[in-house]
Every structure is written in C-alpha cells, then in structure tokens.
Structure 1
Amino acid sequence: MKLFLYVLSLVGFLAGCGGGGVDSIADGDPSYVKVRESLREASSRVLDGLRIRGSYQAEDVFHVSGCESDSKEGGGKLWEAAHFWQIDEVNSGEVQSSIDRLRDSLEAQGWTIVDFARPPQVKNTVVRAQDPKAGYVVRVIGVQEKSRVAVRVSAPCFRASGDS
C-alpha cells in the first residue's frame, strides 16, 4: 500500500508543482525534494492510521507556495509545501471510524490533536493534528455522503537551497 501511495505521489508531483519562476521554487531544489519526501512519509503514516480501503484518486498532488510567516530578515524566501490526496469509495460505515482510528494513532505517536469534530455538531468528521517535534500538520475530512476521506498534510516553512 505504501508503494502505491508513493507512486501516486510521484504522479501528482510530476503533474504540476513548482515551475522555477520568480515566485516559485524549482522542482529539483534539494530542500524541496527533502520536504516532498518527508510529506510522503507523513502521508504514509496517515494512511496507516486510517486503515481503510477505497479508491485512491489521481488528484494526489503536492503544492508549494510562499509561507505566511515569511521572514523579512533576509536569508531568502520561506516556502510552505502540502500534500493533498483522497480516498473515494470508502465503505460508508468506515468513514467516521477511520478518522477515529487516525486520531487515536496520531495521539499515540505524540501528535497534538488541534481539532476533532463529528456529526451532528458538524456536517463532516474532521481531525486536525500537529506533530510538535517536526511541525507537520494533518487535516483529514470524512465526507460521509460521498464515501470520501480527504487528506492534507503540510510541512513547516522551509528555505530553498539556493536562498540560504
């Protein structure tokens, strides 16, 4: 399953990230390559924590943008990267329970649960957690009526290798 997620990650990456312009980061930048690999590893841990079956969507994609907490002290622009993916055709009874399992798994690994809500308080089940050591943030939404679990894993801000 991890290999399948890795292949989809690679497909998503090749489909559209970076671009090398003034306001973008080069796809081959060593710092960005390292961050993408870390995002793949974090996504793999999320997938393991969900423990569900379904159809992994080709919309799996990495996105990079300027970081909100961009430093004005020199040293180059700060970047933020995120990995988006989803699982469709999830057994309807598994959408909420998979997110419960993920929450428990992340807590057991030392992550801080920042937000957790499920129906009827909210329309969709949501968990958001942060890894206090590495700074990664995971946001997972379970959309019961679409039998979907959507995932966003974001990395802490980083500098491009050429900007140091």
Structure 2
Amino acid sequence: MIESETRPTSALKVAGIGCAVVVLAPVLLLLGLVVVYQIERATPEDYPDVKPDTMARRISGYSLDAYAALGLNRTLNPGGYEAKTNNENSFGSDRCYPDGLEGMADEPEEGAYRLYHHWMVGRVGKSEGLAALRKVRDHLEATGWRITEYGKDDQIPEWSVRAKRNGGYGISVTWEQDFQRLRGGSGAPCATDPDWAEAEEEGLYQGLPDVGPAPPLVPAAS
C-alpha cells in the first residue's frame, strides 16, 4: 500500500474515534448524573431527630431571652398578626428539601420540618427601638451568639440585629421606621420528627407539625 492511501485511512479512523467520543460523552455524563441522583434519592438527609415540641420550646426560649433583653415594658401574648396593634407572637414551619441533584425533583423530605418563632410589637418609636437593638446585640454577644449583622439597611429605613449560633440556629430583631414597630424571631435548622412514620401509619401525619400557641413574651424581671 502506498503512503498516499495510508494517510487518509488513518485520518478517517482518528476522525471516527473523535466523533464517537463526542457523541458518547454527553450520554456518559447523563448516565453518571442519573446514578448520582439515584444514590442521593436512596440516602436520607442527615437531619437530627428532634420532636417538634422539643424544638418549639428551644427556639421560643431563644426568643424569650432576646425579648427580655430589649428592655420593653410590655408583655406580648400569643396570637396571630393583629393589624390594629401590629402585634404578633406565633410559631410557623416549613418543609425541608434535599440538597444536590435530588433537590431538582422539588419533593420535600418525608418527616422533616423547619420550625421558626415570629413576633412583632407595635407602637415603638425610633429612640426606643434603636436602644432596644443595642441592648439585644450586647446580650446576644455575651451569651454565645455570633453577630452577623448590625445596623441600618442600605435600601429601606430599617435597623437590624442578626445572629447565629452552633447547630444552625438563628435569631433576628428589626426596627421598622415605616411601621414604628419591632419584629423578630428565632429559627431552627431542619430536623426529622422521630414519630412521623408511626403517625403516617395511623393516618395522623400532616406533613408539618402543629406545636400549638407560642408562649407569652415577657419583659425582664425588674
């Protein structure tokens, strides 16, 4: 075989291999993603097992402690938002969704929940509100919280204190100039209700926990 015939044949072989690689690469990538997705779907999220009532007591305790540090001389009773007074003191919850490729399915993790406590107190002027923020910031720092934000918002007339602590817990307090009120609350990381499977078998599992009313928020003892 002469050299002029060998070179085109070799070039065609190389081109054929290159085309095969180009065609197979997306297929192999897709198969890899499918395998990873199936593994993630079969592996439950590593959320701690915490009963909702226990979590509710924990985060409301954080809110109670922060509220007492504000220096307000009023009690905030449990209840939903009241437009007349701008007051609120209630629990709320969200579903938890897995991370990674599994999250693309947009399906919540069974038995998992994220609990938060939210409160608002109206008729708080600027001097009282900003003084309250300084007090709660100092108190949070002194009790092991890490301050992540303190000061005025760049876009709107609000001043805030935000803090975090080990375990994924967070707390915040904001004074809103437009509404002349303080709002705040505490939040927990995702957790799994250890009793959810049994409740589901009995037809009692609702997807999100009902922990009842929040406790009253009271000022610090004088």
Q: Do the two structures share a fold, i.e. TM-score over 0.5? A: yes
Q: Is the 8 A contact 2:157 2:178 kept in 1?
A: no
* Cα shift readout 1:115-140 (whole Å, capped 9, x = no counterpart): 112267752101110122x4320121
With over 3 angstroms needed to count, the CA separation of the structure-2 counterparts of 1:76 and 1:163, relative to structure 1, is: farther
Give the secondary-structure state (helix, strand or coil) at the position aligned to 2:130: helix
Q: CA RMSD in A?
A: 2.7
**Structure 2: gaps of 5 or more residues:** 1-49, 81-88, 103-108, 198-222
Q: Among residues 159, 173, 177, which one is paired with 1:140 in the alignment?
A: 173
Q: Is the 8 A contact 1:70 1:77 kept in 2?
A: no
Alignment partner of 1:90 is 2:90: no
* % identical aligned pairs: 22
Q: Is the 8 A contact 1:126 1:139 kept in 2?
A: yes
Give the secondary-structure state (helix, strand or coil) at the position aligned to 1:56: coil
- Give 1:1-164 correspondences, 5 Å limit: 31-54=51-74, 56=76, 58-59=79-80, 60-68=89-97, 76-118=110-152, 123-132=157-166, 134-163=167-196
**Structure 1: gaps of 5 or more residues:** 1-29
Rounded Cα–Cα distance in structure 1 between residues aligned with 2:153 and 2:196: 45
More helix by share: 2
- Superposed displacement of residue 96, structure 1: 0.8
- Superposed displacement of residue 143, structure 1: 1.1
- Superposed displacement of residue 36, structure 1: 0.7
- Superposed displacement of residue 86, structure 1: 1.0
Aligned to 2:7: none
- Superposed displacement of residue 91, structure 1: 4.0
With over 3 angstroms needed to count, the CA separation of the structure-2 counterparts of 1:145 and 1:156, relative to structure 1, is: same
Runs of 4+ residues deviating >6 angstroms: none
TM-score normalised by L of structure 1? 0.69
Q: Which has the larger radius of gyration?
A: 2
Which protein has greater RCO, CA pairs closer than 8 Å, 6+ apart?
2
Rounded Cα–Cα distance in structure 1 between residues aligned with 2:134 and 2:156: 15
Rounded Cα–Cα distance in structure 2 between residues aligned with 1:148 and 1:160: 35
Give the secondary-structure state (helix, strand or coil) at the position aligned to 2:129: helix
Q: Is the 8 A contact 1:53 1:90 kept in 2?
A: no
TM-score normalised by L of structure 2? 0.52
Aligned to 2:42: none
Rounded Cα–Cα distance in structure 1 between residues aligned with 2:192 and 2:173: 26
